[in-house]
Chain A
Amino acid sequence: MHRIPVAAAFVLAAGLARADTYAVDPTHTFVHFEARHFGISTLRGRFDRKEGTIRFDRAAKTGRAEITIDLASVSTGVVALDDLLRSPDHFNVAAHPTASFVGERFGFDGDKVREVAGTLTLLGRTMPVTLAATNFNCYTNPLFKREVCGGDFEATIVRSQWGMTRGLDAGVPDRIRLLVQVEAVRQ
C-alpha cells in the first residue's frame, strides 16, 4: 500500500529536479486591471510592486508559478481612487496586504505555454483562476546573458467571488479583466 505513493514521490522529485527556476523580473511583470466605468468607458489601473518565482520545465511541459502582488501599490493615476481601492471597502490592504496567484497546471500548445491554471488568493479567499496566454516566448537577454521566458496572459474574474461586492448595486461591474505581463529570468 505504501509502495505506490513512494514511487510517485520519486517520479515527482525527478520531475522537479529537472525544472529550471526563473526569478520574476519586476520591471517586465505587471498586472493591469480593467473595469467598465459608468457603463461607457474602461478604467485601467495596475499594481506596481510584485515578486515571484516560476519553476518551468519546457521539455516535460510542467511548471509552477507563484506571484505575489502588493495591493497597496495600486495605481490608477488618480490618488483619491487609489486611496478608495486600498480602503476596507475594496482591497482592505490593512487586513490583507497582498494577493497571490499560484499556477500549478501549465497547458502547452507545442513548446509554448497556452494557459496557466491555478488559484488566486484575495481578501483571504482562494478561488480558481486560469490565465490564458496571448503571447509566450523565451529569448536570451543580451544584458543578463541569460534565458528569459515570458508572455502576456489574460483572465476575467468575478470580484464578488472573493467577497469584493462594494459598488455592485451602484453599477460598478463585477467582472474585472486582468492583463498580466510576465517575464522571468533563468537562475
Chain B
Amino acid sequence: MITPTRLAWMLLAATAVAQAAPTAYRLDPDNTRVHFEVLHFGTSTSRGRFGGVAGSIQFDAAARRGEVSIEIDTASVSTGLAPFDSVLRRADMLAAQAHPKAWFVSRRFVFDGDRLVGVEGDFTLKGITRALVLRTGHFGCQPHPQRQRELCGGDFETELKASEFGLTYALPFTSDRVRLVIQVEATRD
C-alpha cells in the first residue's frame, strides 16, 4: 500500500536521483541548539546553551560532500542563572559586545560508506580560530512531517579548551575542557 509517507519518500528519492548538484538547506532555529558542558570543582556538570544559531548547509549525500556555515549569537548564552549569563557575556569571557558572533565553517563532511560520521571545520570565537571536528552521534534525512520539504538533522558533539579562546576567568574551578553538544535540524530551501 502506498501510504502518504511512503509516497513522500518515493518523490524524495526521485528528486534525489534527478538532482546531482548539492542541495541547500537552512537551519531551523527552533530545533538547532548548542549546549556546552563543563565540570564544576571536579564534581558536577554545569550546562548552558546558545539559542541564537543561524546558518546554511549545502549537502550532497550521493557525492558524500557538504559545506556548512553557522553563526552563533554569543549574547544568547543561557545557563538559567542571569548573574552567570552576565559574567559569561563580559569582556574577559565571551566578550559578547566586541565579538557578537561565533562561527563554525566547514567544507569537509566525513563519511563512512553512506554514513555521515563527522564534520571537520574551523571554529572562531572572540576572534580566535581553531580547527574543530564535530562527531556525528546521529544523522538522518526524511520528509518534514509538517512542511512539504525534506528535513535533515542530527546530533553532534565535540570538545574544546576554554583557555585556547581566552576564556580563563572560571579556571580552575571549572574544567578547561568544554564539551559541546549540538542539535541541528535544517529544511531544504
Q: Which of A40, A138, A150, A171 touches B185 (beta carbons < 8 Å)?
A: A40
User: What residue of chain A has the Cβ atom nearest to residue B139's Cβ?
Assistant: A40
Tell me which residues across on chain B come within 8 A of A30, comparing CB atoms: 46-47, 80
Tell me which residues across on chain A come within 8 A of B151, comparing CB atoms: 38, 40
Which residues 22-57 of A sit at the B interface, judged by CB distance below 8 A?
27-28, 30, 32, 37-44, 46, 48
User: What residue of chain B has the Cβ atom nearest to residue A46's Cβ?
Assistant: B80
Number of chain B residues whose Cβ lies closer than 8 Å to a Cβ of chain A: 36
- One digit per residue, 1 when the CB lies within 8 angstroms of any chain A CB and 0 when it does not, for chain B 38-52 equals 011111111101010
Contact between A28 and B44, CB atoms less than 8 A apart = yes
Asked if B120 lies at the interface with its beta carbon under 8 angstroms from chain A, I say no
Number of chain A residues whose Cβ lies closer than 8 Å to a Cβ of chain B: 36
Q: Which of A38, A41, A44 touches B145 (beta carbons < 8 Å)?
A: A38
Tell me which residues across on chain A come within 8 A of B39, comparing CB atoms: 135
Tell me which residues across on chain A come within 8 A of B137, comparing CB atoms: 42
Contact between B30 and A78, CB atoms less than 8 A apart = yes
Interface centre among A152, A171, A182 (most CB of B within 10 A): A152
- CA gap between A28 and B81 in the complex, in Å: 10
Tell me which residues across on chain A come within 8 A of B49, comparing CB atoms: 44, 77
Contact between B51 and A150, CB atoms less than 8 A apart = no
- One digit per residue, 1 when the CB lies within 8 angstroms of any chain A CB and 0 when it does not, for chain B 7-36 equals 000000000000000000000001101010
Tell me which residues across on chain B come within 8 A of A43, comparing CB atoms: 31, 33, 183
Q: Which of B35, B40, B154 touches A41 (beta carbons < 8 Å)?
A: B154
Q: Given A27-B84, A37-B185, A40-B140, are A137 and B33 also a contact pair (CB < 8 Å)?
A: no
Contact between B40 and A28, CB atoms less than 8 A apart = yes
Chain A binding site: helix, strand, loop or mixed by DSSP?
strand
Nearest CB on A from B136, distance (A): 11
User: What residue of chain A has the Cβ atom nearest to residue B151's Cβ?
Assistant: A38
- CA gap between A170 and B181 in the complex, in Å: 26
Asked if B167 lies at the interface with its beta carbon under 8 angstroms from chain A, I say no
Give residues in B with beta carbon < 8 Å to A: 30-31, 33, 35, 39-47, 49, 51, 78, 80-81, 84, 137-142, 144-145, 151-155, 181, 183-185
Q: Given A38-B142, A40-B140, A77-B78, are A150 and B31 also a contact pair (CB < 8 Å)?
A: no
Contact between A139 and B145, CB atoms less than 8 A apart = no
Which residues 117-140 of A sit at the B interface, judged by CB distance below 8 A?
135-139
Q: Given A40-B140, A77-B33, are A32 and B184 also a contact pair (CB < 8 Å)?
A: no
Per CB-CB distance, the 9 closest pairs between chain A and chain B, nearest first, are A77-B51, A48-B80, A137-B43, A41-B153, A40-B153, A150-B44, A40-B140, A181-B44, A41-B183
- CA gap between A148 and B141 in the complex, in Å: 45
Interface centre among A39, A40, A41, A181 (most CB of B within 10 A): A41
- CA gap between A30 and B44 in the complex, in Å: 10
Asked if A75 lies at the interface with its beta carbon under 8 angstroms from chain B, I say yes
Nearest CB on B from A158, distance (A): 21
User: What residue of chain B has the Cβ atom nearest to residue A77's Cβ?
Assistant: B51
Q: Which of A48, A80, A149, A152 touches B45 (beta carbons < 8 Å)?
A: A152
Q: Please list 15 pairs of residues, one from A and one from B, whose beta carbons are closer than 8 Å in the complex, sorted by A's number.
A: A28-B44, A28-B46, A37-B183, A37-B185, A38-B185, A40-B140, A42-B137, A42-B138, A42-B183, A44-B49, A135-B39, A139-B41, A171-B145, A181-B44, A181-B46
- CA gap between A81 and B28 in the complex, in Å: 14
Q: Given A27-B84, A28-B44, A44-B183, are A38 and B30 also a contact pair (CB < 8 Å)?
A: no
Nearest CB on B from A98, distance (A): 17
